[in-house]
Structure 1
């Protein structure tokens, strides 16, 4: 997401690096480029006008600043305005003093609402909460069954009935109280377009359960249509904020940059990816940094803390330092990295990564092939790859559905990695001829 916008803004900053001081002419030239970049990103026209106007006002007052270079000043101003446009401070979810805290999700059909309900439930369960998912979307065939299956994956309780959406929501609230659940998430019906029946049903459910939060689920790929939808829902129910889905599927991101300004409601959560784990609180400052190519180290750290096994990571680090890191350890660490999501997404969070690497087409399937090759080796072969001769290589290739050449390439890459570790001072001393001879002499003395 935001790839096109990030590229255009980086271009603006590059041009500013050639300037000695930031003049009014430079400011206007930069604003023109920023305006075009935002419009290409499908940002609402009125939002673009306000965005550039506020930057102009701030830039002119700081044009004589000598503490920062022109490029640094532009980055600072755009970063601050992006944060403000995306909502400023992060949305904070507070919980009712008398449980359960009732959360109602609304939105159009196809926005990812049902999946977002399960993702939110898992997100809250990981925080130590005990949510109950309620399937009140009785209009769409299989919606209730979809939510039931997702609730099992998220390991949270589920409830629904074949009565009416209002009765299901009300009964779900009673069930949450009887079970002692502290969160109630109600998934309501959506339509292909906003209509009177949809709005009436939503209002009736809102009256029935008196939700603490009403979140509008918006598909980030719908662009300007998302804003019209947001306004229609905001007029019907008491919106608390929005949940943006499919952020990984749009290179423009105009909806995210427009929705807060247009509705006055913050983005509470965002979904980047298809897995239930690909869901998190939305942080305007972190997103602004990513748009400007400054990375998102905090989110990366949080992902690592959530998904990585600390014991496995420490064991791998110790083996690297001791020079005992083998293919078995390599596969174990690779499986840990895969838990954090797509590699392209991980790379995008690292600051200072060259554009060529960010834009590189990373084939996730290659990791699966490597895993298959290593899995086809015996434990002895994984621990001592030097044992693998032509015969063993052919057996491994057949077992993994690859070729002997692919096996050879993997072994070579692993040897190169070990060599690089030694050059960096990791993995113990390099096995020089002198060291090998010394070890041989010790063995001969031991035999005597």
Structure 2
């Protein structure tokens, strides 16, 4: 995941302060040097780094900070706020037209992911707004670009307008807009051509499309993997077209993430979306404050909750809660929950969204091997229906049979059953509002903060119980 090395470096820089009861200007200076190096290594624009460190230093060396009871916490708060400001302060959504359709034009270099983003955005608009988008295939130069958009359209049940590769993109957009007006589509997504670099011919064509379509949004799609080149490209497109927003793709890859921290400051255009995977559902609205928290290893519970709400059926969730409380959670439920959690994304990334989990020893090396998940499922599928519903039936002879049937040894089967029973016990306690179970201290922390976290979680559970009673 992007930002991992940056997160690690920033945490190291600030952990030195947390250990000190009293913080001096020299301590702040040393921390700022570490932060500056961390940002430069993450490929953040030099001017952005200078501005960021200057603002943090000026605020951090104030008397009200250094003389406070917890100066280290105050400085972490300042770093978080300045990072949020650098990323854009506020979440900025799609600018809708007062009359339909809202026209969104995608621009960017070849290979940045414009066509895939068009599909992801169409999918999101359908799901969140019940919209009826039309996609226009305006890239007549890249081989198979039109076919790719058509395949996406078929998968999503979204119409795609194209006129082949022999008609000019400007004419395709003209006729596509006429079709959208006739069919009363509420969104039009224009997929345009890209080049391997910014050139005059590309810009001239895009300017003509812009003049014709008068788009509400011109979204620049940039590949996070290109580092500082992404910032240069963004600046060039912005100067010639006046982009209204940026989409950063491949943020799940092995990238240093500096582009995301630089683009907002250099162009002034807000980052609106990030692509976090290859699936059509792997598109996130960009929240500067949440991203700042993630970068600083402080978690992102809101995004985690939103992911859960998208992927979880409320009725099934209530059934699961009831089973957890009654301790009747079985292996059928285990497989169902495993599939639902895995559909939300890599488990290691989800874990890091929980506040405090990034500081748990060994979390950096925590990886979930898909083969291990497949192995667990094979063990469950080797059980009889009765065994899945009643794990207490699993005596030694049955376990040997399950091991042979799933291609595992008995030790692995025993370990998996033990983990299942421990998880079931923990879930039952949590469903009854008891958060004094193993692992909770790691999640919330110990001391007064941990107690407050657990109290807040208890209140939330009680509140949900009251809501359910009212519904009944």
- TM-score for both structures, normalised by structure 1: 0.89
Q: 1:296 to 1:325 in 2, by over 3 A?
A: same
Determine whether 1:155 maps to 2:161. no
2:291 aligned partner: 287
From 193, 210, 225, give the equivalent of 1:189.
193
Q: 1:125 to 1:418 in 2, by over 3 A?
A: closer
The DSSP-based 3-state class of the residue aligned with 2:264 is helix
1:311 aligned partner: 315
Alignment of 1:183-332 (within 5 A): 183-332=187-336
- Deviations 1:325-381 (Å, cap 9, x if unpaired)? 111111112122122111122112110011522431221332222223323433222
Q: Give the Cα–Cα distance (whole angstroms) in 1 for the partners of residues 138 and 76 of structure 2.
A: 46
CA shift at 1:239, angstroms?
A: 0.5
Q: Give the Cα–Cα distance (whole angstroms) in 1 for the partners of residues 146 and 403 of structure 2.
A: 45
Alignment of 1:402-417 (within 5 A): 402-403=408-409, 405-417=411-423
The DSSP-based 3-state class of the residue aligned with 2:248 is strand
The DSSP-based 3-state class of the residue aligned with 1:247 is coil
Q: 1:400 to 1:64 in 2, by over 3 A?
A: closer
From 178, 182, 185, give the equivalent of 2:182.
178
Alignment of 1:32-111 (within 5 A): 32-62=33-63, 64-111=65-112
Q: Give the Cα–Cα distance (whole angstroms) in 2 for the partners of residues 290 and 296 of structure 1.
A: 6
Q: 1:116 to 1:27 in 2, by over 3 A?
A: same
Q: How many residue pairs are counted as aligned between the two chains? A: 427
1:366 aligned partner: 372
Is the 1:132–1:183 contact (alpha carbons within 8 Å) kept by the matching residues of 2?
yes
Q: 1:181 to 1:402 in 2, by over 3 A?
A: farther
Q: Give the Cα–Cα distance (whole angstroms) in 2 for the partners of residues 178 and 241 of structure 1.
A: 28
- TM-score for both structures, normalised by structure 2: 0.85
Is the 2:346–2:368 contact (alpha carbons within 8 Å) kept by the matching residues of 1?
no
Q: 1:175 to 1:383 in 2, by over 3 A?
A: same
CA shift at 1:398, angstroms?
A: 5.9
The DSSP-based 3-state class of the residue aligned with 2:128 is coil
Is the 2:95–2:216 contact (alpha carbons within 8 Å) kept by the matching residues of 1?
no
Is the 2:136–2:161 contact (alpha carbons within 8 Å) kept by the matching residues of 1?
yes
Is the 1:316–1:333 contact (alpha carbons within 8 Å) kept by the matching residues of 2?
no
The higher radius of gyration belongs to 1
- Deviations 1:295-342 (Å, cap 9, x if unpaired)? 101111111111111122221111121121111111112122122111
Flag as ranges the 4+ runs of structure 1 deviating above 6 A. Answer: 422-427
1:142 aligned partner: 144
Show structure 1 runs of 5+ residues with no match: 428-448
The DSSP-based 3-state class of the residue aligned with 2:252 is helix
Q: 1:393 to 1:160 in 2, by over 3 A?
A: farther
Alignment of 1:423-434 (within 5 A): none
Q: 1:417 to 1:79 in 2, by over 3 A?
A: closer
Alignment of 1:8-23 (within 5 A): 8-23=9-24
CA shift at 1:160, angstroms?
A: 1.3
1:433 aligned partner: none
Q: 1:264 to 1:68 in 2, by over 3 A?
A: farther
Q: 1:201 to 1:397 in 2, by over 3 A?
A: farther
Q: Give the Cα–Cα distance (whole angstroms) in 1 for the partners of residues 406 and 145 of structure 2.
A: 39
What RMSD over aligned residues (CA atoms) do the two structures have, in Å? 2.2
CA shift at 1:74, angstroms?
A: 1.7
CA shift at 1:159, angstroms?
A: 1.7
Determine whether 1:127 maps to 2:128. yes
Show structure 2 runs of 5+ residues with no match: 434-472
